[in-house]
Structure 1
Amino acid sequence: MKKTPLLNVALSRLIASLGHGDMLVIGDAGLPVPPGVELIDLALTRGIPDFVSTLRVVLSEMQVESHVLADEILLKRPPALQALDELTATAVLGTRQLLSHDAFKHLTRQARAIVRTGECQPYCNIVLIAGVTF
């Protein structure tokens, strides 16, 4: 049995297959999934699972070099932003890049997969760019 907190088979398998520079998106319930991009749908109902809990579990297995947010998150300031700022300050998320929400959605076309949460706060979406552990 695994020792890390991530129990979802599809998500764990995906993280194990990531190479340096690959992108994984964790999105809110409304983020569109581009055709051809794998969807790992964790959403059960409004708010379950939430964005921050999902992100923290993914980070228990994934080495992140940098991340991308839509700059609109800084204007709307959902509660998740505080956790994102803390994870950035402690270097868990690496460096931050900001894009417009439209550019962010365009970037998701290059992702290996999108993880859909039940989050319903605005702009709670992140592109995680895989790093290496060596």
Structure 2
Amino acid sequence: MLKTDILNAPLLAALATLGHTDTVIIADYGLPLPAGTPVVDLALVKGQLSFTAVLDVLARNLVIEHSTLASEAKGTAVYGWCTEAGLEPGFISHEELKAQITNAKLVVRTGEATAYANVILRSGVPF
């Protein structure tokens, strides 16, 4: 067995394919997902799995060189959650963030019900 705390096989498999500059989006349950976008759906019911639970796991298991939030998330709990996870996010409009979904290598859909609880994580390298 692998030494990782991620047990979800589709999520682990998708993360294993990431290369430098690939992006992963952690999304609330309301973010519109275009057809053809690779999604690992971790939403069970409203509020579960939370944005923070998924962010904490991914922050421990990925090299993240940059993160991006919607500018509408400035000063909100979402911004606080990201900084607590060690991220220093940049900002783009929510409309721009939604446009970036089609470029993502993976979207991880959560059951989060907080407005603008979406973050783009850009994969880095450990050297």
Quote the offset at 1:103 in angstroms.
0.4
Quote the offset at 1:2 in angstroms.
2.8
Q: Percent identity?
A: 37
Contact 1:6 1:60 in 2 (8 A): no
* 1:84 alignment partner AA: C
* 1:10 alignment partner AA: P
Residue in 2 that maps onto 1:132:
125
Distance in 2 (alpha carbons) for counterparts of 1:85 and 1:62: 16
Aligned residues: 127
Residue in 2 that maps onto 1:45:
45
Contact 1:5 1:60 in 2 (8 A): no
- Which runs of structure 2 are paired with 1:1-134 in the superposition (5 Å)? 1-74=1-74, 77=76, 79-88=77-86, 93=87, 95-134=88-127
Quote the offset at 1:109 in angstroms.
1.1
User: Which has the larger displacement, 95-104 or 20-29?
Assistant: 95-104
Distance in 2 (alpha carbons) for counterparts of 1:57 and 1:6: 7
Distance in 2 (alpha carbons) for counterparts of 1:96 and 1:60: 17
Taking structure 2 as the reference length, what is the TM-score of the superposition? 0.93
Q: Secondary structure at the match of 2:89?
A: strand
Taking structure 1 as the reference length, what is the TM-score of the superposition? 0.88
* 1:85 alignment partner AA: T
Q: Please give the per-residue CA displacement for 1:23-66, whole angstroms capped at 9, x wherever unaligned.
A: 11000000111222111100000110000111111222211100
Q: Please give the per-residue CA displacement for 1:9-35, whole angstroms capped at 9, x wherever unaligned.
A: 111111111000001100000011122
Distance in 2 (alpha carbons) for counterparts of 1:5 and 1:80: 23
Distance in 2 (alpha carbons) for counterparts of 1:47 and 1:2: 29
RMSD of the TM alignment (CA)?
Answer: 1.3
Give structure 2 stretches of 5+ with no counterpart: none
